Amino acid sequence: MAKTQETVLEINLNHLEHNYRYLSSKIKSSTKFLAVLKAFAYGSDAIKIAEKLEALGVDYLAVAYTKEGVALRKSGIKIPILVLHPQAINFNLLLKHQLTPTIYSQKILDSFIKSAQNSGQTAYPIHIKFNTGLNRLGFAEKEIEVVSDQILQTTAIKVTGVFSHLAASEDLNEKHFTQAQLRSFENITQKFCHNLGYTPIRHLLNTSGITNFSEAQYDMVRSGIGLYGFGNEAHVDQLLKPVATLKTIISQIHTIKPNETVGYNRAFAAKTFKTIATLPIGHADGIGRIYGKGKTWVYVNGKKAFIIGNVCMDMIMIDITNIPCNEGDEVIIFGENPNASEFSASANTISYELLTGISQRVKRVFTKN
């Protein structure tokens, strides 16, 4: 890849393929694979990622909201797309684009049945979500009967999937909690499927579920972060390849004297002579103020350069004292080293937040190298 001349997020589709194959190797060949593409495929590019995964034979895609699914359909994606958190106001749009809604509450079930009936559907596919301890979305165990009875009373919809979501699959200190979730899912789905009279596909595991609890893979797994190269644990990260690399260049270099300050609020004060570089990337691009004031570093010609002072909207300043470099040189914010997991950890957050926060202002470029 040629050196960049501006801020770009480089997306490596070969790394995506590597991660998909690695994660697939952790499950049975008969288990379906759902790729989670919410939030622009974790900040990369949902359409390019979907096209690649569809070509690789992924079974299902998932997004959070209806309009994310519509964008994929408009780009020609044909495989099933599960909408994880649909809102009733979007049901007509969802039906029009043959997206599969997650039905997670009585209110959403009532209104989806109405929409499906009004548009003359028969056996429109839905997935039912149960809450097994995350306490975010999903029916409670005690609602099994009411829900299954109501579903059996209409021909407009048909349950093609039933699922739940783990709260702490990445944390082996919470193993007992996760195992209780696994048992709860088993009980709930047994009762629910018995009431329905058929067994739709069942799915429970996210990326860390695949790596830590593969015995509970059921008929399908749902992976997001793993496809993009992170496994929530350093030893898993090593087996995966980061899909996204955030790169920029040095816009300008300044030499500053002792007692001079850098940036807004004069947040960095030089004690000695310093050489600093200004980069064309800031909190409006997704590198938040949390990364400023010496907390985090980037790489300039293979050397660590700390972010100094406050992160501005469109710029950050880094300390390049003793790093041989010139205006125009490439700077790696995160990629293989530091990776998004390490970079985000320096500010006490996680790769998910960093990746999905890279704003749409940053140009996405694609590579296969």
Amino acid at the residue 335: G
**How far apart are CB 51 and ligand PLP at their closest, in Å?**
20
Catalytic entry in 28, 74, 96, 264: 264
Q: Are 177 and 168 in contact (CB under 8 A)?
A: yes
DSSP H helical segments within the chain, as ranges? 13-25, 38-43, 46-56, 66-74, 91-96, 106-118, 144-152, 175-196, 207-212, 234-237, 340-345, 351-356
Rounded to the nearest 5 percent, the helix, strand and coil shares of the chain are: 35, 25, 40
Q: Does 216 bind ligand PLP (CB under 6 A)?
A: no
HSE at residue 344, side-chain half, CA atoms within 13 A, is 18
Q: Does 86 bind ligand PLP (CB under 6 A)?
A: no
191 is catalytic: no
**How far apart are CB 140 and ligand PLP at their closest, in Å?**
17
Span from 218-226, 233-241, 253-261, 309-317 in contact with ligand PLP (CB under 6 A):
218-226
Span from 222-230, 290-298, 308-316, 323-331 in contact with ligand PLP (CB under 6 A):
222-230
CA distances from residue 350 to 33, 232, 282 in whole angstroms, order as listed = 24, 9, 18
Backbone angles phi, psi at 132, to 5 degrees: -115, 20
**How far apart are CB 240 and ligand PLP at their closest, in Å?**
12
Binding residue for ligand PLP (CB under 6 A) from 23, 36, 58, 320?
36
Q: For 154, which DSSP code?
A: -
Q: Does 224 bind ligand PLP (CB under 6 A)?
A: yes
Catalytic entry in 38, 129, 241, 274: 38
Q: Does 262 bind ligand PLP (CB under 6 A)?
A: no
Footprint on residues 106-165 left by ligand PLP (CB under 6 A): 165
Q: How far apart are CA 364 and CA 49, in angstroms?
A: 12
Binding residue for ligand PLP (CB under 6 A) from 44, 207, 211, 212?
207
Handedness of CA 278, 283, 285, 291 (dihedral sign): positive
Footprint on residues 297-326 left by ligand PLP (CB under 6 A): none
Query: b vs e for 75-104, b when ≥16 Cβ sit within 10 Å of the residue's Cβ?
Result: eebeebbbbbbbeeebbeebbebebbbbbb
Q: Does 204 bind ligand PLP (CB under 6 A)?
A: no
Binding residue for ligand PLP (CB under 6 A) from 23, 63, 84, 281?
84
* Residue facing ligand PLP at closest CB distance: 224
**How far apart are CB 215 and ligand PLP at their closest, in Å?**
17
Footprint on residues 320-359 left by ligand PLP (CB under 6 A): none
Q: Does 182 bind ligand PLP (CB under 6 A)?
A: no
Nearest residue to 58 via CA among 31, 32, 84: 32
Q: How far apart are CA 185 and CA 223, in angstroms?
A: 18
Show the site string, 37-56: x = touches ligand PLP by CB under 6 A, - = not. Answer: -x------------------
Q: Does 223 bind ligand PLP (CB under 6 A)?
A: yes
299 is catalytic: no
Q: Are 44 and 228 in contact (CB under 8 A)?
A: yes
The tokens of 21 are what?
């194959």
Q: Footprint of ligand PLP on this chain (CB under 6 A)?
A: 36, 38, 84, 165, 206-207, 222-226
Known catalytic residues are: 38, 264
